[in-house]
């Protein structure tokens, strides 16, 4: 019997994961097999359980298993002062935010530095308290940008602590006017929607209808027409492995992340919340995510 188990989607229209045995992956060149102790659940995974394919079409790389295969490019050591439960908040968020901010096909910002040169430009990040948004705030600041972010009122302190210059309440009835007033005197380099749902795309479009056309990077493609002033691209994590993205991945994962984790510049936020134990509980966790989670990262212990 294989020591590996995985949560499988067994049919083209299946919306429930089923736990079954899985073969032990064999690493090829520049690949490693890791033993998962904890697994982080990500909102995009319930959003696209059907009809899109999560990740890449190769089960060996699936995160929902005991022994996933990982590209060496995407591996970084965890410092001794950080628990695995804390660290697991970051991997997908780092890769997602890095592709969005730095890949030439998207916002193409300068790479983050320990002592960044201020660009004099600003980025609007929608969803600053989400795991991707919180990581994007930190990376953008480390790239020399001023960050204006949105979050619910109760999460403002969290987003400010990550380096944002201004945090706006996305639940406010005046969010569009508030954002326009905050941004109209800044040199806006672009926008990043770390949520990318209709309820975020609509106000973001209304803001740009007043400010004018700007680049917008999304993590989920829009399901209906958006403002023509949103010059949007849709970033996908696997772009970090393509010809344009690999230099980004190598720098982020092998230079910036190890140093920034070790000296405390990069924080695993929002805080993790362990909700269950066992791969068989992952579907329940995804269902919980679908109902809505604010400023927490749901974690399943393996």
pLDDT of residue 20: 81
- List of domains in the chain: 4-76+271-301 (3.90.180.10), 94-239 (3.40.50.720)
Strand, coil or helix: 40: strand
Q: What is the pLDDT of residues 134-182, one digit of tens each?
A: 999 999 999 999 999 999 999 999 999 999 999 999 999 999 999 999 9
What's residue 2's pLDDT? 73
Give the pLDDT confidence of 24-60 residue by residue, as tens digits: 989 999 999 999 999 999 876 655 544 444 445 677 8
| pLDDT at position 231 | 98
| Residues 227, 214: Cα–Cα separation, whole Å | 11
Pull the structure tokens for residue 21: 């045995």
CA 267 vs. chain centroid, Å, equals 14
**pLDDT number for residue 143:** 99
pTM of the full structure: 0.91
302 contacts 39 by C-beta, under 8 angstroms: yes
Whole-number CA gyration radius for the chain? 19
What's the CA gap between 6 and 173, in Å, rounded? Answer: 44
pLDDT at 172: 98
| pLDDT in the model for residue 50 | 45
Q: Residue 42 has what pLDDT? A: 82
| Digit-coded pLDDT (tens) for 6-19 | 887 766 555 567 78
* The predicted structure's pLDDT at residue 1: 59
Distance CA 90, CA 293 (A): 17
DSSP 78: P
């Amino acid at each position: 019997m294989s020591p590996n188990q995985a949560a499988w989607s067994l049919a083209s229209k299946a919306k429930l994961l089923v736990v079954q045995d899985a073969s032990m992956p064999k690493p090829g060149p520049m690949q490693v097999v890791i033993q998962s102790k904890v697994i982080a659940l990500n909102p995009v995974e319930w959003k696209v359980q059907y009809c899109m394919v999560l990740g890449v079409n190769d089960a060996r790389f699936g995160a929902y298993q005991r022994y996933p295969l990982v590209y060496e490019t995407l591996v970084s050591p965890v410092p001794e002062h950080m628990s695995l439960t804390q660290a697991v908040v970051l991997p997908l968020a780092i890769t997602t935010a890095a592709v969005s901010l730095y890949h030439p096909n998207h916002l193409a910002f300068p790479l983050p530095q320990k002592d960044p040169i201020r660009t004099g430009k600003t980025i609007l990040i929608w969803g600053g308290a989400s795991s991707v948004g919180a990581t994007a705030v930190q990376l953008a600041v480390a790239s020399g940008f001023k960050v204006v972010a949105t979050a619910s009122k109760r999460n403002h302190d969290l987003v400010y602590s990550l380096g944002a210059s201004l945090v706006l309440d996305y639940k406010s009835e005046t969010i569009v006017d508030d954002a326009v007033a905050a941004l109209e005197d800044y040199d806006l380099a672009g926008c990043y929607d770390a949520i990318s749902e209709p309820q975020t795309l609509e106000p973001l479009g209304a803001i740009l209808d007043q400010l004018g056309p700007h680049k917008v990077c999304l993590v989920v493609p829009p399901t209906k027409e958006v403002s023509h002033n949103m010059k949007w691209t849709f970033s996908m994590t696997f772009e970090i492995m393509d010809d344009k993205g690999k230099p980004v991945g190598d720098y982020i994962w092998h230079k910036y992340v190890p140093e920034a984790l070790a000296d405390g510049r990069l924080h695993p936020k929002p805080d993790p919340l362990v909700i269950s134990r066992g791969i068989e509980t992952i579907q329940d966790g995804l269902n919980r995510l679908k109902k809505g989670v604010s400023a927490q990262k749901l974690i399943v212990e393996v």
